[in-house]
Chain A
Amino acid sequence: EVQLVESGGGLVQPGGSVRLSCVASGFSSSNYWMYWVRQAPGKGLVWVSRISSDGRSTNYAGSVRGRFSISRDNAKNTVYLQMNSLRVEDTAMYYCARAVGNAYGYGWLDPWGQGTLVTVSS
C-alpha cells in the first residue's frame, strides 16, 4: 500500500523550532517530487514547500521562505521540514504529499499523509 506517515508535530513556543518527518512506504519516494501543504484550523489548503526527487531543487512559499527548510534522505524514504523562528500564524496541520503526473513536480498530489499538528503558542 502506498502510504505517507508524518511525525514531529507538537506544541512549540513562538520563536522555537521543530522538525517534521514524512516516511514513505509502498513506493520509492526517490522517484517523486514531494510537497508539504498546511491547513490552519478551519481554513483551506496552502502549499508550503516542495523538493525535487534528487533533493537538488527546493521551493518555498513566501510566508515561510528563510525560516523553513525542506530536505530528504532517499535512502530512508523520508522527507523533512525544518521549521525555525516559528510564529503563531504557523499553527496548522502539516501534510506531506507525493506529486504525480509531471517530471517537473507540477501535477496532482496523491497520496497525502494523515498530517501532523504544529501548534505555536506561549
Chain B
Amino acid sequence: DIQMTQSPSSLSASVGDRVTITCRPSQNISNYLNWYQQKPGRAPKLLIYGTSTLQSGVPSSFSGSGSGTDFTLTISSLQPEDSATYYCQQSYNVPLTFGGGTKVEIK
C-alpha cells in the first residue's frame, strides 16, 4: 500500500495568512493526488482532484501543486471558514490511501 505522509499535523494561522500543507506519498504517484476538507461533525468534501483541479464551488484561494512524491495544498489568504482538517488521498492505485490529516486553526 502507498503510505501518505502529511505535514504539519496541525497549524494555527491568522486570517489573511498564506497556509501551505505538504503531502508526500511513499512512491511516485504521478499527479494522482486529491485533497479533501472536513469540518467538525461533517463528512469530508472534495476540494481538489488530479493535483490541481479545483472542484466546482471551491474558492480560488485554494490551490494544489506538485507531482511524483511531493504535493502541496495552499490557501492563499486564510479565512475563518477554512478552519478544518485537510486530507490528501492518492488515486494512483488501490487501495486508495489517505494522509493522516492536517488540522488548520485560526489564531
Interface residues of chain A, those whose CB is within 8 Å of chain B, are 35, 44-47, 50, 59, 61, 95, 100-102, 105-115
Which residues of B come within 8 Å of A, CB atoms?
A: 32, 34, 36, 42-46, 49-50, 55, 87, 89, 91-101
Give the chain B neighbours of A47 by CB distance below 8 A: 95-98
Could you tell me if B98 and A108 are in contact, using CB atoms closer than 8 angstroms? no
11 contacts between A and B (CB under 8 A): A35-B96, A45-B36, A45-B87, A45-B89, A45-B98, A45-B101, A106-B92, A107-B49, A108-B46, A109-B34, A109-B44
Task: List the A side residues contacting B94 at CB < 8 Å.
Answer: 50, 59, 105-106
Nearest Cβ in chain B — how far from A77, in angstroms? 19
A46 near B91 (CB under 8 angstroms)?
no
- Given the complex of chains A and B, what is the CA–CA distance between A82 and B97 in angstroms? 22
Closest CB of chain B to A113's CB: distance in Å? 6
B43 touches A106 (CB 8 A): no
Known: A102-B91, A106-B93, A106-B94. A44 touches B99 (CB 8 A): yes
Knowing A47-B97, A50-B94, A102-B91, the reply to whether A108 touches B49 (Cβ < 8 A) is yes
